A = this chain, B = another copy of it.
Amino acid sequence: MEYIKNPMKIEERSFEIIQDIIDEIRPDYKFKDEIEEKIIKRAIHTTADFDYLDILKISDSAVDVILEALKNEATIYTDTNMALSGINKKRLDMLGCKYKCLVADEETASLAKEKSITRSMAAVEIAAREDGRKIFVLGNAPTALYKVIEMKHEGKLDVDAVVGVPVGFVGASESKYELENTEIPYIISKGRKGGSNLAAAIINAILYTI
């Protein structure tokens, strides 16, 4: 069997094919700018789903705010270990950024139990107590996204930006719609689609521009 075995070549060729397919299926499609193009193409690269041409929405300041936070040793909080494992941690280490998923911590579990909330929500409460710039990268839990919005609204959480792409059928779409109506800089996937893989891909796309 003959197949391409060079990872760099595979990635390069993949992005060429993605552009070819866009030219074919959406000849009039225009990206707003280079960074939006990079984010959307990496979303498609990760999912093979061209719906992301239409459902990924990046608020005006989101990329600049995320870049600035990443250059200032921000902490990335994910809602799943899956999203955390997909993020390019070498790059984050080079920038002096931290990254964590608090969902499985003991402290989170006991706070969730005490307050009868999801562990995803408890993880946001615990993150809020920590110092430093904060980027939430959420691909799974609408309850985490709602909690971020709630705590920001109540003045209890300093958050720089949210990559809010929970996938699913209960609350995912609604929670992303709520986020659109806040002042928080955001990147969302409208509707039901999204996921931990997508959440990681979006952060990676931004990281690769630094």
Q: Do residues A167 and B3 form an inter-chain contact, with CB atoms below 8 A?
A: no
Complex-state Cα separation, A6 to B121, whole angstroms: 11
Chain A residues numbered 164-210 whose CB sits less than 8 Å from any CB in chain B: 167-172, 174-175, 178, 191-197, 200
A32-40, A61-69, A77-85 - the one binding chain B: A77-85
Q: Nearest chain-B residue to A200 (Cβ)?
A: B82
Residues of B within 8 A of A45 (CB): 168-169
Residues of B within 8 A of A48 (CB): 167-169, 172, 191-194
A56 at the interface (CB under 8 A from B): no
A11-19, A23-31, A91-99, A126-134 - the one binding chain B: A11-19
Q: Do residues B3 and A195 form an inter-chain contact, with CB atoms below 8 A?
A: no
A residues bordering B, Cβ < 8 Å? 1, 3-7, 10, 13-14, 17-18, 45-49, 80-82, 84-86, 116-118, 121, 142-143, 146, 149-150, 167-172, 174-175, 178, 191-197, 200
The 4 A-B pairs at the shortest CB distance, nearest first, are namely A48-B192, A81-B85, A14-B169, A17-B169
Residues of B within 8 A of A46 (CB): 167, 195
Residues of B within 8 A of A169 (CB): 13-14, 17-18, 45, 48
- Count of chain copies: 2
Q: Do residues B82 and A4 form an inter-chain contact, with CB atoms below 8 A?
A: no
Residues of B within 8 A of A168 (CB): 10, 14, 45, 48
Residue of B82, B172, B195 near A85 (CB, 8 A) is B82
Complex-state Cα separation, A196 to B150, whole angstroms: 31
Q: Do residues A171 and B82 form an inter-chain contact, with CB atoms below 8 A?
A: no
* 20 A-B residue pairings within 8 Å (CB atoms): A1-B150, A3-B143, A3-B174, A4-B171, A5-B118, A6-B118, A10-B168, A14-B168, A17-B170, A45-B168, A45-B169, A46-B167, A47-B193, A47-B195, A48-B194, A49-B193, A80-B85, A82-B85, A82-B196, A86-B196
Contacts A14-B169, A80-B86 known; 7 new A-B pairs at CB < 8 A: A1-B146, A1-B150, A13-B169, A13-B170, A47-B47, A48-B192, A82-B86
